[in-house]
Amino acid sequence: MIFNDFIFYTLAAILLFAGIRVITTRNPVYAALHLVLAFFTAAGIWLLLEAEFLAIALVLVYVGAVMVLFLFVVMMLDINLDKLREGFWDYLPMAGTIGLLMAVEMVMILSGKYFAPTTVASKSADYSNTAELGRVLYTDYLLPFELASVVLLVAIIAAIVLTLRDRQDSKSMNPAEQVLVKKQDRLRIVKMDAVVETPSVEDPKADKEKS
Amino acid sequence: MEYIKTDLITALPELTVLFMAMFILLLDLFIKPKNRIVIYGLAQFTLLAAAYFTVVTYNPSVGYAFSNMFVDDPLADILKLMTFLGTSMMLVYTRQYMQQRGMFRGEYYAMVLFALLGMMIMISGQSLLTIYMGLELLSLCLYSLVAFDRDNARATEAAMKYFVLGALASGMLLYGMSMIYGMTGSLNVAEISSALLEMNTKNPVLILGLVFVVAGLAFKFGAVPFQMWVPDVYQGAPTSITLLIGSVPKFAAFAITIRLLAQGLQPLAVDWQDMLLIMAVLSIAIGNITAIAQTNLKRMLAYSTISHVGFLLFGFMSANLNGFASSMFYISAYVLMTLAGFGMILLLSRQGFEAENLDDLKGLNQRSPWAAFLMLITMFSMAGVPPTLGFYAKFTVLQAALQAGFIWAVVFAVVMAAIGAFYYLRVVKLMYFDAPKDNARISAPVDMQLVLSINAAALLLLGIMPQTLMQICGVAIVISLQ
Amino acid sequence: MDFLANLFGSYWPAVQLTSWTLIKIIAIVLPLMIAIAYLTLAERKVIGFMQVRIGPNRVGYFGLLQPLADGVKLLFKEIILPTASNKTLFLLGPVLAIAPAFAAWAVIPFDATLVLANIDAGLLYILAMTSVAVYGVIIAGWASNSKYAFLGSMRSVAQIVSYEIAMGFALVGVLMCANSLNLGKIVMGQAGGFWHWYFIPLFPLFIVYFISAVAETNRAPFDVAEGESEIVAGFHVEYSGMAFAIFFLAEYANIWLVCALAATMFLGGWLSPVPFLPDSILWFLAKMGALVFFFLWFRATFPRYRYDQIMRLGWKIFIPITLVWIIFVGAMMQTSLGYLFH
């Protein structure tokens, strides 16, 4: 248990550090990388709670896909940092008050009185929460699960509708057509009689044709 | 495997809409732009088919599906039928508008159907999870539809505002839901209600959760103090989309309010009654007074919506079956009025011209007495002038509130309604007593003219004979909430 | 031993476990390093023979000491840090590239008992590790502060993210057949001769997986991230000496890894193809080796893909194929022919 506590506090400290750096660092790429670190440590904490599916899914989805695309965009953008951060600290009183309020609320609510921590019965060795989650998702929670897929579908459609434009100047090619090209389409063999007269060597026209 | 079959039959209308939305999306890839009217026809057919399945599977008792996450009760069926009708009318009104502005695309119809699916899920949501998923589905469709005219800077700005504030509202709703889930240990609305009966309802966590849930709902409705997105979005969005946002989703918002407050959190009624009272009074006051200062018709109607939401909350406030039934009546009346109001704007708009300023209505009577008369009925109904539907709707909610003992609030609302009548009647004055600014001929497809006329006629007829609609609302509420 | 046990007191079992695990890790990593080293030689030799050349034959008999000579050379070269680069990230890049390439080996079963961590979500772990590997490339490309390096890393990111989807879907087919995410159980699901191996019912997925694996490892014909004829050497253009060597190691470690996975998922891992021969780790190594040979063969045979065609192949061809086949497999499992897919 002491060992577990030690790991938890280490991970929690890293998580907090990374989280703070995400919002305080000046460089957006650093911020994104710190967010990656935060996700990783959060996954570590989940592993400690024996929620291995969630932990790995967090790494797989957020670190492996979402943040990669995020970094991609952040690196591509030429962001004027100073302009972006103009007046950043002006929001401090407002944001600080709200943050403090929320923290107080959380502490009041979570401090044992209403949500007392219950000890969870330890699971047998062959218990797999991946299989268990899968079973529940496709039986009890079938409707919300399928609805979530519809929501994602709508998000895809919306993204395409709002951004896709048929470009008139695009020079893209159709690979299927390219592959289907036959020799006859591009090459014409002309039967010609052998040339009888020999051109003189000095003839500039003949030279040009040769080259 | 067997249980899923009955589940699927219960959700047959939803499945129809889902499959047709995806089919339309695919078909649009292969169809030539000039034949796109087929897609419009398919969308209307989908609504018809979904309505047919709703009627066929109608069952005067309450049925559950998908592990009690989905409910099929008369309230759901009737609200769904009303939603289908409203959506169908909206599609009729917007067809020409979208064609003229290059937005007549397959995705528009697919998105509308997906939004419809979201509304249906909200209406049938029996679990916090399904309610939330339906809400997100609807909101996501609406955000993107607002930005559908993507080269229009104002529409894009409106979409951005709508998206950010909508996401905030969803967050609040979800936060509140999580607290309620934490305290009651269940996501199911009925189980939450029974768990609440057995516990101390003065629990601060519960109250905090309730505050967030009510705030989230108020955001979606557009009630004061969470109304700031309404005018900007109504004005910025293409009128056809404003028509959609302003009309049928209110049925779904009504349904989730019933599910969450009346079914789930009824034991906390004492607390949410007060919150609704404040919001209702403020909405009516701010909505009506600010509307007077508007020169843009869409913006004026947005503020009018806020005041209507206030009246709607009066029905909820009484927290009894009579009050809920009167709210349901009000929401039906409101949707019919909104459809007619924005339908008129669409009617007067034409290629390259948006009839969205009050001045554009000047002298409408000289240009087209028929159009002016339709607008007259609509405005009278919105103002609550007897014998229109709007009058009877206001009358029932205020009566319900009066019976529940909110005497001063009712008096205040009546005064505000009288102030509000000013800006509606101003429109009438502009139409009948001012000289027209432009004399362009009003041209609209026959089906749109016909449906719009029926719509306005309904405002009048239902106002004279409200009993049937009132009875339907009453029966639906009584069967479903007991 | 007794002395050590006294020294650590009650922590002795933990210490024992840790050191035993460390020994096992070394037992996996050392042979892997050797395999990587000789893969470089094999590559040069194989491509040499395919192009009717001899390949390296000066250092040692048949050129067998060539990898050692290369290693020594790279070790003694200077690591140049470009002035305008981001020093920390520049050095972090190679580390992030190689760490996941090695870490993923923890769950690969070499035979029925020989596996470092026999965890339930092994397949997910592998997917997570391979998806993290791209960070090395991104960070290296960005930190170098060089146009070519940046272009290379951008290409690599888009490519890897695209092909990861197809690869993941291909593996979904496998776990549908095996009913498990545990790699050992996946192998055991294929027991009973080569006609039980998953590459037969999942043939399209196998092909998609293998081609995606080539793209994931940035190997020819999908090596646009390096693209020496267009963008010099892509993301590692600014690296030299050992830092460069680590990228090289990571690339070859990844080749071995994806081949080991293909052998485990589709070709029955350590199982013998026919019932009368015993199962053994040698089968696993042989299958892996055969698959690796394909990588070298591809490089010697195919011209490089154009970038837009790579993206088209991934999104418009592979993802639909995998989706259709997953639905097909799922549907077939409900019929009386379902036994073919288990």
Name the residue among C128, C138, C160 with its Cβ closest to that of A59: C128
Of B373, B368, B285, B269, which is closest to residue B323 (Cα–Cα)? B269
Nearest CA in chain A to B114: A154
User: What rounded mean pLDDT belongs to chain C?
Assistant: 83
Q: CA of B22 to nearest chain A CA: how many angstroms apart?
A: 10
B114–A144 C-beta distance less than 8 A? no
Using a CB-CB distance cutoff of 8 angstroms, which residues of chain C are in contact with residue A50?
none
Of B52, B61, B43, B41, which is closest to residue B13 (Cα–Cα)? B52
Using a CB-CB distance cutoff of 8 angstroms, which residues of chain B are in contact with residue A105?
208
Helix (H) or strand (E) holding B49: helix B37-56
A151–B107 C-beta distance less than 8 A? no
Residues in A lying within 8 Å of B, measured between beta carbons: 105, 108-109, 114-115, 139-144, 147-148, 150-151, 153-155, 157-158, 160-162
pLDDT at A38: 92
User: What rounded mean pLDDT belongs to chain A?
Assistant: 79
Model ipTM value: 0.90
Separation of alpha carbons C195 and C335, rounded Å: 20
Residue labelled with tokens 């609406």: B142
Q: Which chains touch B (3 or more CB pairs under 8 A)?
A: A
C252-265 as b/e, with b when 16 or more CB fall inside 10 Å?
bbbbbbbbbbbbbb
Q: pLDDT per residue over B381-430, tens digit each?
A: 999 888 889 899 999 999 999 888 888 889 999 999 898 888 898 889 88
A162–B117 C-beta distance less than 8 A? no
pLDDT at B3: 64
B97 CB contacts (<8 Å, ≥6 apart)? Answer: B238, B239, B240, B346, B349
Q: For residue B233, is pLDDT > 70? A: yes
Q: pLDDT per residue over C200-232, tens digit each?
A: 888 889 999 999 988 888 887 888 777 667 777
Q: For residue A208, is pLDDT > 60? A: no
Q: pLDDT per residue over B53-101, tens digit each?
A: 999 888 888 888 888 888 888 899 999 999 999 999 999 999 888 888 8
Contact (CB, 8 A) for B93 and B240: yes
Of B76, A64, B205, which is closest to residue C163 (Cα–Cα)? A64
pLDDT at C219: 82
Mean pLDDT of B227-235: 90
Q: Chain C within 8 Å of A76 (Cβ-Cβ)?
A: yes
pLDDT at A51: 79
pLDDT at B441: 79
Mean pLDDT of C233-250: 81
Confidence of residue B327 (pLDDT cuts 50, 70, 90): very high
State the pTM of this model. 0.86
pLDDT at A116: 60
pLDDT at A122: 66
Q: For residue A81, is pLDDT > 70? A: no
Name the residue among C128, C139, C142 with its Cβ closest to that of A64: C128
Using a CB-CB distance cutoff of 8 angstroms, which residues of chain A are in contact with residue C158?
72
Name the residue among A109, A142, A157 with its Cβ closest to that of B107: A157
pLDDT at A203: 55
Separation of alpha carbons B366 and C256, rounded Å: 83
Percentage, residues of chain B above pLDDT 90: 39
pLDDT at B177: 92
Residues in C lying within 8 Å of A, measured between beta carbons: 14, 89, 119-121, 124-125, 127-128, 131-132, 134-135, 138-139, 142, 150, 154, 157-158, 160-161, 164, 181, 308-309, 312
Using a CB-CB distance cutoff of 8 angstroms, which residues of chain A are in contact with residue B203?
114
B36 CB contacts (<8 Å, ≥6 apart)? Answer: B28, B104, B105, B106
> A121-135, B311-325, B335-349, C256-270: which has the minimum mean pLDDT?
A121-135
Q: Tokens for C170?
A: 């291909």
Where helices occur in A49-182 by DSSP H, the ranges are 52-57, 67-76, 81-84, 92-110, 129-138, 142-163, 175-179
Mean pLDDT of C93-121: 82
Name the residue among A108, A143, A161 with its Cβ closest to that of B144: A161
Mean pLDDT of B4-21: 87
Q: CA of B25 to nearest chain A CA: how many angstroms apart?
A: 9
Mean pLDDT of B468-476: 89
C142–A75 C-beta distance less than 8 A? yes
Q: pLDDT per residue over B166-197, tens digit each?
A: 998 999 899 899 888 888 888 998 889 888 88
Q: Please tell me chain A's helix, strand, coil percentages from 3-state DSSP, rounded to the nearest 5.
A: 70, 0, 30
Name the residue among A59, A72, A175 with its Cβ closest to that of C154: A72
Where helices occur in B237-320 by DSSP H, the ranges are 239-246, 249-257, 269-292, 297-317
Using a CB-CB distance cutoff of 8 angstroms, which residues of chain A are in contact with residue C181?
130
